[in-house]
Structure 1
Amino acid sequence: MLKTLLVKLLASSFHVTRFFDRIQESIFHQYVLQTLSGPPLMGYAERVGNTNSGRLSFKNPKKDKEGKKEEVNVEKLQKMKQETISAWTMRGLIQVIQGSGLYTISNALEDCVDDEGEQKDKEITNEWEAKAAAYRIFQNVARPGHKYIDEEDLLHFMKKEEVDNVLPLIEGATETGKIKKSSLRNWVVNVYNERKSLAHSLNDTKTAIEELNRILSGIVLLVIIIVWLLLMGFATTQVLVFLSSQLLLVAFMFGNTCKTLFEAIIFVFVMHPFDVGDRCVIDGVQMVVEEMNILTTVFLRYDNEKIFYPNSVLATKPISNFYRSPEMSDAVEFAIDVSTSAQNIVDLKAKIKAYLEGKSQHWRPTHSVQVKDIEDVNKMKMALYVNHTMNFQNFGEKSNRRSELVLELKRIFEELKIKYNLLPQEVHLRYVGSAPPTSTNA
């Protein structure tokens, strides 16, 4: 009983510390998808009087084989804090994620009705279905003929407080107050990928806790046998000497294995530097966490090659985690001719500033253009330091933003006629062909 209680307390504390914020965010995203895919609540009185407002309905086949729906109060969940949530509530939230589909976002994103007049549920099982769901939501929420969703459109489906929480989630919506179709599509795809990673993390954590429980059960069983022998009087001096010798032999044979197991447990449950889906850098190689167990962690390299690392080895290595990093910075280095006028450099800085401020959903306004060095009296090495509005977990998006920035720099160079010219080079020419033929007199 004591062993079971300790394992339950460890699991509850671990889940609250590592996953509460992600579960809270994932359930709210799922509620937004369900609300925007359903029928609108046109009037203010209807929104106020609607008892289902702020509630997420989901099916839990593990608890109800008839497929009846359960509800989660999303408004109450958003007000909960990690420090005050109970173990029972946390267990219920985990069941919402696991029970409504480990790798999918459930609840209808399709306006279809079954024979009994109930709305069917449409699960998203891949990114293509996520993009299709985003298209259907856009058609459901946006006014006919409009190429964006504005705040007024959202108010037909949810309350003002919920709209204020939704707009910052979608790229560019906070600045313009409008949601483009492409931004909505990217957000739905990100929600699906995050939900899938969260489900994988919870599943792997559950497996790791079960493995730990089995290990502790074996240890407890051994202790119970020894105590039982002592209480029953069977443990004579010869028996104790025999058991001690056997334990020494086992310790000699499996001592290193036990040390490795203990280090792995500390790494998984105490250090826990990453979760499934996190993008990490280990030994200079960028990889994504695919699976996490007690003894090993499986990574996917950039070319989708699987790499298995023992957790006891990972515990001794520095690990860079992009997912847990704050907004990250970037740098673009370039060189211009030393003859470039001071006015051109001032204009260059002004145009870079205008571009970054115009792309506020991608870049922070704080940036720096610095002259690093002058080489060979003809080349000024310069660098542009910028801050992204994201970390580099989504490395493809980061690369796209940087590529657009480099192309914009090229356009600015052409507009200001900023060039770089090599110094005059001395060229030596030498004829290396065959010797001309000589004529002979007959």
Structure 2
Amino acid sequence: MRFLTRVEIHTIFALFEGALETGRITKSSFRNWVVRAYLERKALAHSLNDTKTAVQQLHKLASAIVSIIILVMSLMVMEVATSKVIVFVLTQLVLVGFMFRNTCKMVFESIVFIFIMHPFDIGDRCVIDGVQMIVEEMNILTTVFLRYDMEKIYYPNAVLITKPISNFYRSPEMADSIIFTVDISTSMDSIITLKKAIQAYVESKPKYWNPKHSVIVKEIDEQNKLKMCLCVQHTINHQNYGERSSRISELILELKKILENLGIKYSLLPQEVRLTHVNLDNWS
């Protein structure tokens, strides 16, 4: 209140975990906010640095081409180079270009991929060939990825331009589903109470979950159980995989607690057991 207006305080409090509910900022929530801000600034600085490096490399390439054009034009203006010499030089350049056509094509495709398509930035979590990786470094010809086991993988940009790339960071808020099973003898009142309890929990975590969710019955399995599914939507995308996993784990534990409090269980069907009497005297 000393430094900010009420509107600004309401905006700032939303950045800290639990601050809107309690009206106070705890030391742990403030520490988490500082860490997130530091990581975001670090990723931004890394991205700007790599982008600057790629632009410098492109600038050197363009400067070399422009220098050659200026040199040829200067020789023509000063009449030092005759038309025969110009034709000879151009022929040699065409020959060199034919010899290195694959390299020229790769450089052109890499430039198009980095500066025009630009499907990711430094720090983005992407999926390429079914493997989750984080973009570590971007250059004109190659991009360096960091796999989940901290192994660095180098991809030529000319190869990446031909592959489908899934970018978690640029994706919208993603959804998750939890499948669980209850006994078919569970009453409708208990199922309605279960839905209300789940709704109350989801709405109590506005920083974690979108209030729009659904609890549906998928099927009756083996005549003795209901297979149900809880579909929820995150307030973040899956860029931060660790935070997403912790939220799902907390939701599953809360669902288990709700089922226990409501006494909703699952029991196997009675099994038929046949006993046969064996006369041991016949075996002696």
TM-score (norm 1): 0.59
- Pair 1:400 & 2:228 matched: no
Cα distance per residue 1:374-403 (max 9 Å; x no partner) = 222223221111111222222111111110
Q: Pick from 326, 331, 342 the counterpart of residue 188 of structure 2.
A: 342
Equivalent residue letter for 2:221: E
> Residue 300 of structure 1 corresponds to which residue in structure 2?
146
State the partner residue of 1:224: 70
Report 1 or 2 for greater relative contact order, CA contacts < 8 Å, sequence distance ≥ 6: 2
Question: In structure 1, what is the Cα distance between the partners aligned to 2:260 and 2:38?
Answer: 41
Match in the other structure for 1:418 = 264
**TM-score, length-normalised on structure 2?**
0.89
Pick one of 235, 239, 254 that aligns with 1:389: 235
Which of 97, 100, 114 in structure 2 is aligned with 1:254?
100
Pair 1:176–1:390, CA change in 2 (3 A): farther
For the residues of structure 1 that align with 2:51 and 2:7, how far apart are their CA atoms?
34
1:409 aligns with 2:239: no
In structure 1, give the amino acid aligned to 2:267.
N
The aligned counterpart of 1:288 is: 134
1:370 aligned partner, one-letter code: I
Distance in structure 2 (CA, Å) of the matches to 1:248 and 1:382: 68
Q: 2:206 is matched with which residue?
A: 360
What does the per-residue CA deviation read over 1:40-73, in whole Å, with 9 as the maximum and x for residues that have no partner?
Answer: xxxxxxxxxxxxxxxxxxxxxxxxxxxxxxxxxx
Paired residues for 1:41-440 under 5 Å: 155-160=1-6, 162-424=8-270
Q: 1:407 to 1:250 in 2, by over 3 A?
A: same
Counterparts of 1:429 and 1:245 in 2: how far apart (Å)?
97
RMSD: 2.3
Determine helix, strand or coil for the equivalent of 1:389: coil
Which residue is 1:25 aligned to? none
Which residue identity lines up with residue 216 of structure 2 in the other structure?
Q
**What number of residue pairs does the alignment pair up?**
278
1:172 maps to a residue whose letter is G
When residues 301 and 231 of structure 1 are mapped into structure 2, their CA distance, relative to the original with a 3 A threshold, is same
User: How far apart, in 2, do the equivalents of 1:329 and 1:163 lie?
Assistant: 30
Letter of the 2:205 counterpart: K
Give deviations 1:229-287, integer Å, cap 9, x for gaps. Answer: 22222333432332233122211221111111111112111221211111122222111
In the alignment, the residues of structure 1 paired with residue 88 and residue 247 of structure 2 have an alpha-carbon distance, to the nearest angstrom, of: 69
Residue 209 of structure 1 deviates from its aligned partner by: 0.7
C-alpha separation in 1, matches of 2:259 and 2:88: 84
Rate the CA distance shift 1:240–1:347 in 2: closer, same or farther, 3 A: same
Q: Distance in 2 between matches of 1:342 and 1:363?
A: 26
Q: In structure 2, how many angstroms separate the alpha carbons of the residues matched to 1:257 and 1:286?
A: 29
Structure 1 residues 293 and 191 mapped into 2: Cα distance closer, same or farther (>3 Å)? same
Deviating more after overlay: 209-218 vs 222-231 = 222-231
Is the partner of 1:169 in helix, strand or coil?
Answer: coil
In structure 1, runs of 5+ residues without a counterpart are 1-154, 431-437
Q: Which amino acid aligns with 2:69?
A: V
For residues 114 and 142 of structure 2, what CA distance do their matches in structure 1 show? Answer: 10
Change (3 A) 1:416 1:230: same
Give identity over the alignment, percent: 62
For residues 112-167 of structure 1, give each alpha carbon's deviation from its aligned partner in whole angstroms, at most 9, with x where no partner exists: xxxxxxxxxxxxxxxxxxxxxxxxxxxxxxxxxxxxxxxxxxx2344555434422
How big is the shift at 1:218? 0.8
Alpha-carbon distance in structure 1 between the residues aligned to 2:232 and 2:148: 25
Any unmatched runs of 5+ in structure 2?
A: 277-282
Amino acid corresponding to residue 42 of structure 2 in structure 1: K
- Structure 1 429/288 Cα, relative in aligned 2: closer, same or farther at 3 Å? farther
SS of 1:391's partner is coil
| Alpha-carbon displacement from aligned partner over 1:83-120 (angstroms, at most 9, x marks no partner) | xxxxxxxxxxxxxxxxxxxxxxxxxxxxxxxxxxxxxx
Paired residue for 2:279? none
